[in-house]
Amino acid sequence: MSLFTKKRVIISVVLLAAAVGAALYLQANPRKPKEEEPKYKFALVEKGNITQTVTASGTLNPVALINVGSQVSGTVLDLKADFNDRVKKGQILLTLDPTIFNAQIKQSEASLASAESSRRLALANMERNQKLVTQNYISGSALDQTKRELEVADANIKLAKAQLERVQADFNNSVIRSPIDGVIIKRTIDLGQTVAASFQTPNLFQIAKDLTKMQIDTSVSEADVGALKAGLAARFVVDAYPDREFEATLRQFRLAANVQQNVVTYTVVLDVENKDELLKPGMTAQVRLVVGNKQNVLRIPTAALRFKLSEEDLAKEAKAKKAQDKAQEEKTGVKQKEEPVVPAPEPEDDIAFRSKNEVSRSFKIYKLDDKNQAKPVDIKIGLSNFRYTEVVSGELNLNDKVITRSLGKTSTEK
């Protein structure tokens, strides 16, 4: 055998071995068919808890907040209370300069003494004239005149006493006292400052009765007030303690509406226990009112309620289903039954004749069938929040795949 023949035999053996090796490799590692890319993002129907809340923001205030003012004008002579001081009922907060009040008291006392002297003179004249009338030395009209002078003197005494009581009251009011037991939250006066009470009562101090009991004054939108009632539990956070939640209870829903730029809100008052006095007046509270809570119910993501198929998606679904049915027919030889294309959901024609509750709680959603095609399902929902929605009735079972959004570019979510 020549050298050339030997080389041809060796090359043939190598090629044959390579072909056999490739065949064995393909047999051991068959080529996987290309997987179809998913068209929708879905979530499983599950059982769990749902809590429905109403959110609002408000301001923390003491339950009882008293503004202390002054009924008289004057200059602050002595200041005996400051910010954050705890005061008792009747305790002196400040005193005004009493010089003018003392002068007015002395003036009124002098007027009273003069009126009493005038009365004594009028009384003596009347007694003298009574004797002269009996002796016919004077007429009866002269006696009547002295009686009138006595009555005028009595009236002048009463007037002088009233004026004296008034200036004494002004003197007493120049000493400002605390009307309650509490804590001074605000002080708007300084030593030596003049207090002017001519046109309106000036506010000198603001006293909180009890800081261990606070309240939150918050505004709630008119869309959320239907579920509110006294006694509802609430939780809130403040910026000063971002890692801690505080508890509150709804005490009062005020019927007076607040309208600002055509937005209607209602004032809701919540009670807060502040035994540690961590919460301060004026803090902003972010409140969550718990209006509903259900345990272990059938639920779906709320995003599934907003998903809608576009016309292009419907056409693609129909085309893909037709191709799938044709392939199945070629494989089995059995003609597949054609199903009508489901159109996009249209608004109900009889909406005006259905109850408001029924309309607002009925929805059409989509789930994935056995062939990963979108199938519309009518459901009725119950409790709902931004994350989960309760399924009350409908053709949904545990672990069904509900579509939350499309992974393509032609679907719309409303």
- Say which range, 99-113, 281-295, 300-314, 333-347, has the weakest mean pLDDT: 333-347
Please state whether 84 falls in left (phi above 0), alpha (psi between -120 and 50) or beta. Answer: left
Residue 89 DSSP symbol? T
Distance (Å, rounded) from C-alpha 301 to C-alpha 294? 15
The predicted structure's pLDDT at residue 309: 79
pTM of the model as a whole: 0.62
Distance (Å, rounded) from C-alpha 202 to C-alpha 93? 15
CA dihedral sign of residues 258, 262, 265, 266: positive
pLDDT band for position 164 (50/70/90)?
very high
Distance (Å, rounded) from C-alpha 95 to C-alpha 176? 6
Distance (Å, rounded) from C-alpha 411 to C-alpha 319? 16
Distance (Å, rounded) from C-alpha 116 to C-alpha 141? 25
pLDDT band for position 47 (50/70/90)?
very high
| For residues 192-221, average pLDDT | 88
- Say which range, 68-72, 196-200, 284-288, 334-338, has the weakest mean pLDDT: 334-338
| For residues 331-337, average pLDDT | 61
pLDDT in tens, 103-150: 999 999 999 999 999 999 989 988 888 888 787 777 778 888 888 989
Q: Which of 338, 48, 93, 324 is nearest to 207 (CA)?
A: 93
Residue 198 DSSP symbol? S
Q: Which helix (H) or strand (E) holds 75?
A: strand 74-79
Q: Which of 216, 214, 215, 211 is nearest to 57 (CA)?
A: 216
Rounded to the nearest integer, the mean pLDDT of the chain is: 83
Distance (Å, rounded) from C-alpha 379 to C-alpha 198? 70
Contact 187, 76 (CB under 8 A): no
The predicted structure's pLDDT at residue 187: 93
The predicted structure's pLDDT at residue 105: 94
pLDDT band for position 413 (50/70/90)?
very low
The predicted structure's pLDDT at residue 344: 46
pLDDT band for position 348 (50/70/90)?
very low
pLDDT band for position 88 (50/70/90)?
very high
Q: Work out the angle at residue 178's Cα, subtended by the Cα atoms of residues 174 and 182, and round it to the nearest 5 degrees.
A: 160
